[in-house]
């Protein structure tokens, strides 16, 4: 079974630009979660989608948004990039219940200059 | 707020010795606790979870964790450490709808 894939793996953007990251979950998984990892703040939850509906959202500004498609693939978008948005963005998939573990992709390393 | 704490930034252990990586939790209701490991330039890999039942949970790569309700702890253990176990370890709690709240991480260094 293929794992979680994320594209692109690396990205360099300039302040003020916007960026879209993509995540393909494990086949059969309907839940996709997004996390931001930085040295200063650690791992922080961004949002979770299940069957195309956002079920949960972390404490991030509205510049961070996401969506999920009918095939469970998910995208997250960051508009008006700031230097502080430089981070590793991780996507995770699961069946969607709190009892189940999440499987993480390799991440997208975003650098904002 | 539900949270987990990892009191040690780094744990050093010699290969072949037992290892323990500590985690304490603050959760209202039943805790759904997880351990993940992260190798350099990689995503997180699931090791094990506690949902309910036996307090000793066995996971991947020979790791196990002991759930202790009275001490609100969920320490990760391995009887005999390998150099290849050197990595960053995260304890996490599921607070609902797949929101994982992570600890700050503990770097494990296993020396030959």
Q: What is the mean pLDDT of residues B41-63?
A: 92
pLDDT of the residue at A99: 83
Residues B14-49: tens digit of each pLDDT? 999 999 999 999 988 888 999 999 998 788 999 999
pLDDT of the residue at B63: 97
CB atoms B32 and A104 under 8 Å = no
CB atoms A56 and B105 under 8 Å = no
A31, A48, A101 ranked by CB distance to B34: nearest: A101
Residues A9-67: tens digit of each pLDDT? 999 999 999 999 999 999 999 999 999 999 999 999 999 999 999 999 999 999 999 99
Neighbours of A33 (CB within 10 A): 29
Neighbours of B86 (CB within 10 A): 17
Cβ-contact B27, A89 below 8 angstroms: no
CB atoms B105 and A98 under 8 Å = no
pLDDT of the residue at B43: 86
Q: What is the mean pLDDT of residues A75-85?
A: 97
Tell me which chain B residue has its CA closest to the CA of residue A5.
B43
Cβ-in-10-Å burial (0-12, 13-18, 19+) of B109 comes to middle
Beta bridge partners of B78: B19
Using the Cβ of B20 and the Cβ atoms of chain A, whether some distance falls under 8 Å is answered with: no
- Cα A40 to Cα A54: distance, rounded to the nearest angstrom: 27
Whether A110 has a pLDDT exceeding 80, the answer reads yes
- Cα B81 to Cα B37: distance, rounded to the nearest angstrom: 14
């Amino acid at each position: 079974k293929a794992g979680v894939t994320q594209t692109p793996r690396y990205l360099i953007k300039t302040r003020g630009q916007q960026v879209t990251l993509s995540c393909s979950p494990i086949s059969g998984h309907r839940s996709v979660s997004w996390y931001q990892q930085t040295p200063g703040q650690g791992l922080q939850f961004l949002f979770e989608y299940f069957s195309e509906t956002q079920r949960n959202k972390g404490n991030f500004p509205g510049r961070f948004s996401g969506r999920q498609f009918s095939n469970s693939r998910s995208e997250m978008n960051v508009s008006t990039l700031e230097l502080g948005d430089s981070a590793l963005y991780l996507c995770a998939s699961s069946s969607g219940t709190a009892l189940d573990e999440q499987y993480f992709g390799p991440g997208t390393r975003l650098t904002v200059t | 707020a539900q949270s987990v704490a990892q009191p040690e930034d780094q744990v050093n252990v010699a290969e072949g010795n037992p290892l323990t990586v500590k985690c304490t939790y603050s959760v209202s209701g039943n805790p759904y606790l997880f351990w993940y490991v992260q190798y350099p330039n990689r995503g997180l890999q699931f090791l094990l979870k506690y949902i309910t039942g036996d307090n000793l949970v066995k996971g991947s790569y020979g790791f196990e964790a002991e759930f202790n309700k009275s001490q609100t702890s969920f320490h990760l253990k391995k009887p005999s450490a390998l150099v290849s176990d050197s990595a960053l370890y995260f304890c996490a709690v599921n607070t609902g709808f797949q929101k994982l709240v992570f600890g700050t991480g503990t770097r494990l260094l296993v020396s030959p």
